[in-house]
Amino acid sequence: MPNHLIVVDECEDFRWVDPSGLVITAEEYLRRGRGAPELPVVNLCREHGHLSSGYYVSLIAEARGAKALPDMRAVADLDHAEIRDECKAALESLLARAPGLPGSSAAFSLHVYFGEPDQPVFKELAHRAFELLRTPILRIDFEQATSINFGQATPINFEQATSWRIASLRVLAPQEVPQAHDAILLDGLERLALRMNYRSQGKSRPVDGSADDLAHPFGRAPRRAPPSRFDLAVLVNPQDKIPPSKAKALARLADIGRELRVTVTLVEPRDYERLARFDALFIRETTSVSDHTYLFARKAEQEGIPVLDDPASIIRCTNKVFLAELMRRGGVATPGTRFLTRHSLADIEKERDFPLVVKIPDGSFSKGVERAADQAQLREIAEAMLRRSHVVIVQDFLHTEFDWRIGVLGGEPFFAARYFMCDRHWQILKHAPDGSYVEGVTEAVATGNVPHEVLDAALRAAHLVGDGLYGVDLKATSEGVFVMEVNDNPNIDVGLEDAVVGDELYRRLLLDFQRRIEATRRRGSAKVIRFGRTSLADIEGRCETSATEFALRQTTRRERPFK
């Protein structure tokens, strides 16, 4: 029996024989059934960009609980030039002391196969590149950079004025590997397979919740520096047309922060370099794996700064394919769901029960979600969406007057609301061609008044994703309760989500950040969190509303957009 899978776009892409692995296509992997064993995945697809086949292989592997190389974090990181530049800088510091640099050539390349270099003198650099980028096959192109001051008084030493720098980092597809490197690739793959087999026998454990020896095969991830005082940065963007919190809610958060001796500072995308000055980050902007919100979350995590939403939650919640697979694996009920790709469009002919809902995986705020009344319309919608994404979702349509939205923070109920459908529309947000929108009514509900089966399903779904801040959408029907989505970055607005408990919502949020900061400090920080003259117990004592009272306040109604 194989101990790992090698996933490629076409079987002929992998020209080698791997005695311990099974070679399958991305299409086969995406369609694997529930009973298939979840083996570690070596993802050798040709492309790993956003919503490509390689992207989905790593994404679904994570949703199924399988280790993957590259993992989803690595795939997302490689999509950002800023992160690649950080990796270049780290590798260039090693290059300065590397032996065997060419003396006459103006450029050279280094190939790295599962951490093994094609030039043994660069073993340390190759190991570090694999640790940083966590990708199977990598080519690093180097070039000489000359820094000469022709106005200097002393004679110019051209040898000292010339240094090497990294011109590019490129992930290679297997068919791009030179035949001369076959033995190196197979040796690297064999070493990787031995490590995976060693761990599968229970002889190794993950370093932490997000990284393991597969991601950091040559040692632990660097220990993160903990924060030193409680200053909360809140990321907002004036260009966000449907922000998760409006100005009034942000002002209320700042007011409660002052009561608790917590400084709340609004930051914008241009403040990326200032982030390390803060002790926690709260993202109040629509998130995406492919923009600066992910970069902010990742930088915060690297700096040891607690962040909502964390990078893993952004990756998981912003892709409906991942969520569908994760809920299936976790035994959480969802509407009947199937995936469509260009190769499986013929499956449309099997559909008989209409209407059906078709979703682009990274859509939000009801965008990228359409309803098909028949097979012809289903094909038209699916073909259009497949131009943007390698996979689209088809779901059974469930009609209800409202969706339940359950806010979950740190694994506990945070708020509850009913989001009603727009008048004469099947969604809770209706977009017009000119970019405008209308929304249904929002009705806040005490969490103590939420049906037990709804609250239980929401908490189970959120637990599968993480321990951050989530908004779980559910439909309660005569056939049961179904989880529709788990959203990161849920809406919190004055008179809406906070309508039942008021300021207590913001106090609980700030105290949760405090808890996360304290936990970071307890993990071995040499720094001390400073709250001025106010201790953690003092701050907790200011919370006048008990958990019971929090759950039993009056129900109210308002209107506004949501995520």
Which DSSP string do the residues of 89-145 spell out, in sequence order? HHHHHHHTT-S---SS-SEEEEEEETTEESSGGGHHHHHHHHHHH--SEEEEEEEEE
> Can you state the percent helix, strand and coil of the chain, rounding each to 5?
35, 25, 40
Residues 6+ apart with CB under 8 A from 352: none
Q: What is the largest CA-CA distance in the chain?
A: 87
% of the chain exceeding 70 in pLDDT: 80
**How many whole angstroms separate alpha carbon 255 and alpha carbon 270?**
24
Most confident range, picked from 338-347, 532-541, 544-553: 338-347
pLDDT tens sequence across 293-320: 999 999 999 999 999 999 999 999 999 9
What is the reported pLDDT for 151? Answer: 52
**pLDDT over threshold 50, residue 1:** yes
Higher-confidence residue of 559 and 184: namely: 184
pLDDT tens sequence across 262-296: 999 999 999 999 999 999 999 999 999 999 999 99
Pick from 7-21, 283-297, 443-457, 477-491: least confident:
7-21
Q: Is beta strand 231-235 parallel, antiparallel or unpaired with respect to 441-445?
A: unpaired
In the block, which residue shows the tokens 């964390």?
A: 310
**How many whole angstroms separate alpha carbon 203 and alpha carbon 542?**
48
Could you tell me if 478 and 449 are in contact, meaning their C-beta atoms sit under 8 angstroms apart?
Answer: no
Could you tell me if 90 and 128 are in contact, meaning their C-beta atoms sit under 8 angstroms apart?
Answer: yes
Taken as a whole, the chain contains a residue count of: 563
Go through 238-274 and write b for each residue having 16 or more CB atoms within 10 A of its CB, e for each that does not: eeeebbbbbeebbebbbebbeebebbbeebebeeeee
Two structure tokens written together for 536: 């953690």
What is the edge-to-edge ordering of all strands in the sheet holding 41-43?
21-25, 4-8, 41-43, 68-69
Domain spanning 336-393, CATH architecture: 2-Layer Sandwich (3.30)
Choose among 323, 346, 491: nearest CA to 393.
Answer: 323
* Cα angle, residue 110 at apex, residues 105 and 111 outer, rounded to 5°: 150
Two structure tokens written together for 39: 């083996």
Query: For residue 59, what pLDDT band results from cuts at 50, 70 and 90?
Result: very high
Please give the CATH topology (third level) of the domain spanning 231-317.
Rossmann fold (3.40.50)
Could you tell me if 73 and 315 are in contact, meaning their C-beta atoms sit under 8 angstroms apart?
Answer: yes
* Cα angle, residue 242 at apex, residues 237 and 247 outer, rounded to 5°: 60
Residue 193 three-state SS: helix
Q: Do 231-317 and 336-393 share a fold?
A: no
**pLDDT over threshold 90, residue 529:** no
Could you tell me if 284 and 250 are in contact, meaning their C-beta atoms sit under 8 angstroms apart?
Answer: yes
Mean pLDDT over the full length of the chain: 83
Higher-confidence residue of 126 and 557: namely: 126
In terms of Cβ atoms closer than 10 Å to its own Cβ (0-12, 13-18, 19+), residue 515 is: middle
Two structure tokens written together for 192: 């990787």
pLDDT tens sequence across 316-338: 999 999 999 999 999 999 999 99
Could you tell me if 98 and 84 are in contact, meaning their C-beta atoms sit under 8 angstroms apart?
Answer: no
Task: Give the type of residue at 296.
Answer: F
What is the reported pLDDT for 179? Answer: 95
Higher-confidence residue of 330 and 149: namely: 330
% of the chain exceeding 90 in pLDDT: 61
Q: Is beta strand 4-8 parallel, antiparallel or unpaired with respect to 21-25?
A: parallel
pLDDT tens sequence across 477-522: 999 999 999 999 999 999 999 999 999 999 999 999 999 998 987 7
**pLDDT over threshold 80, residue 217:** no
The pTM of this model reads 0.78
Is-cis flag, bond preceding 37, omega within 30? no
What angle, 0 to 180 degrees and rounded to 10, lies between the N-to-C axes of helices 53-63 and 320-330? Answer: 30
Query: How distant, in Å, are the alpha carbons of 97, 135, 152, 170 from that of 46?
Result: 33, 12, 49, 12
In the block, which residue shows the tokens 């001051």?
A: 149
What is the reported pLDDT for 224? Answer: 44
Query: What is the average pLDDT across 384-408?
Result: 94
Choose among 214, 193, 187: nearest CA to 123.
Answer: 187
Q: How many helices (H) and strands (E) does the chain have?
A: 16, 24
**How many whole angstroms separate alpha carbon 21 and alpha carbon 3?**
6
- Which DSSP letter does residue 453 get? H
Task: Give the type of residue at 110.
Answer: L
**pLDDT over threshold 80, residue 393:** yes
Residue 287 three-state SS: coil
User: Would you list the domain boundaries of the chain?
Assistant: 231-317, 336-393
Q: Is beta strand 280-283 parallel, antiparallel or unpaired with respect to 307-308?
A: parallel
**pLDDT over threshold 70, residue 50:** yes
